[in-house]
Amino acid sequence: MRVLVTIPHVYDPDGDPRYGACQPDPAPRIAALSACLAALRHGYEPVHRFINHSDHVIDIPQRAVPVQVDVVVCTAGRRHVVDRLDVPAGWYEQRPSQVDPMLVGFECHEVLAERLGNYDLYCYLEDDIAVHDPGMFEKVRWFVDTFGPGNALGAHRYEVAEVKLYVDGDIPAAWTIEAQDTTEAPTLVTEVLGRPLTFCRPLNPNAGCFFLTAEQMAHWVEQPYFLDRDTRFVGPIESAANFGIMRAFHLYKPAPEQASFFEVEHLDTKWSTWARATCQWPVTAATTRG
Would 290 be classed as within a structural domain? no
DSSP annotation of 204: -
- What pLDDT score was predicted for residue 14? 76
Angle value at C-alpha 72, between 71 and 75, nearest 5 degrees? 145
Look at residue 248 and give its three-state secondary structure. helix
Amino acid at 155: A
- What pLDDT score was predicted for residue 180? 84
Q: What are phi and psi of 232, to 5 degrees?
A: -70, -25
Would 249 be classed as within a structural domain? yes
Q: Strand 93-95 and strand 68-74: pairing?
A: parallel
Would 256 be classed as within a structural domain? yes
- List the CATH number of the domain containing 152: 3.90.550
Strand boundaries in 53-207, DSSP class E? 57-59, 68-74, 93-95, 121-125, 129-130, 151-153, 156-160, 164-166, 187-192, 195-200
195 vs 176 pLDDT, higher one: 195
Predicted TM-score (pTM) of this structure: 0.91
Would 287 be classed as within a structural domain? no
Q: Is the pLDDT confidence value at 287 over 70?
A: no
Nearest Cα to 256, choosing from 183, 154, 131, 176?
154
Nearest Cα to 129, choosing from 149, 102, 159?
159
DSSP annotation of 225: T
Separation between Cα atoms, residue 94 and residue 75, nearest integer Å: 7
State the pLDDT confidence band at 24, using cuts at 50, 70 and 90: confident
Strand boundaries in 2-92, DSSP class E? 2-8, 50-52, 57-59, 68-74
Span 105-129, mean pLDDT?
A: 97
- What pLDDT score was predicted for residue 290? 38
Residue pair 288/184 in contact by the 8 Å Cβ criterion:
no
Would 66 be classed as within a structural domain? yes
Strand boundaries in 13-150, DSSP class E? 50-52, 57-59, 68-74, 93-95, 121-125, 129-130
State the pLDDT confidence band at 264, using cuts at 50, 70 and 90: very high
Would 165 be classed as within a structural domain? yes
Q: Give the containing element (helix H, strand E) for 37.
A: helix 27-43
Q: Which range (1-5, 82-86, 244-248, 283-287) has the least confidence? A: 283-287
Query: Which residue range forms the structural domain that includes residue 182?
Result: 2-49+59-281
State the pLDDT confidence band at 284, using cuts at 50, 70 and 90: low
The percentage of the chain sitting over the pLDDT mark of 70, rounded to a whole number, equals 97
Burial class of residue 117 (count of CB atoms within 10 Å of its CB; 0-12, 13-18, 19+): exposed
Could you give the number of structural domains in the chain? 1
Nearest Cα to 72, choosing from 37, 39, 98, 120?
37
Residue pair 198/255 in contact by the 8 Å Cβ criterion:
yes
